[in-house]
Amino acid sequence: MTAAHPAPADPATAYDSPLRPLGLIGGMSWESTALYYRRLNERVRERLGGLHSAELRVHSFDFAPIAAMQAAGHWDEATGRLVRAAQALEAGGAAALLICTNTMHRMADAVQAAVRVPLLHIVDPTARAIRAAGGHRPLLLGTRFTMEGDFYLGRLRTRFDLDPLVPDAAARALVDRVIYEELCRGMVSAASQAAYRAIVERARRDGADGVIFGCTEIGLLLGGVDLGMPVYDSVELHCEAAARFALGDDAD
């Protein structure tokens, strides 16, 4: 006679997840949001084992209208859309939020002000990793909005006392073009990889002591490539910090 499975001691709580739910504001582009989904689930499985996976709520935008707002400088409209997405994720039970793109952290303060749960900022774990490694002058690669605006560089400087570098104007244009015309469309080109590597090498000669993948798609192009100095991949570091929050390991 086969023994019956024992009934849960408390059916009301026996099937609850031990994880805090995360809300992902993604789709900008979906190529990198897919990385967020995979990395967060992998980290939870590594820690808890078995059939555990991350508790996620996802709002995935159609990127074309958002990219058009960026190009036209209509940041207020884009901010409104992110705020509404954040509020919907909070209402759906998210205990913390992630904006799954570096560029759209331009409106991180406005998003945080519109919700009660914490927004886990992408710059913070990136900067902490740089400081922990003893770095001070990282090269920042990203969209032109990220490389030329103050929302990212300013946070690195004022909150973490770093001295980031950016490429010259021609190189910034190239980096930006590859992101929007290739990486966000799932295209990985050997020629573009070589061009990025040349930009990194020039920065290294100019005193850079590391490189920030400050666009969530750059790892698709340069992931695993030896660039001759430390690499700080914003996706990987953001996901690591978010997974710690989800697991309750965020006391630091």
Active site residues: 101, 215
Which residue type occupies 88? Answer: A
Burial of 120 (0-12, 13-18, 19+ CB in 10 A): buried
- What is the spatial distance between Cα 145 and Cα 28, in angstroms, rounded to a whole number? 14
Cα–Cα nearest to 111, from 77, 143, 84: 84
Torsion of CA 233, 235, 239, 241, to 10 degrees: 50
Structure tokens at 111: 């998003």
- The torsion angles phi and psi of 71, rounded to 5 degrees, stand at -60, -35
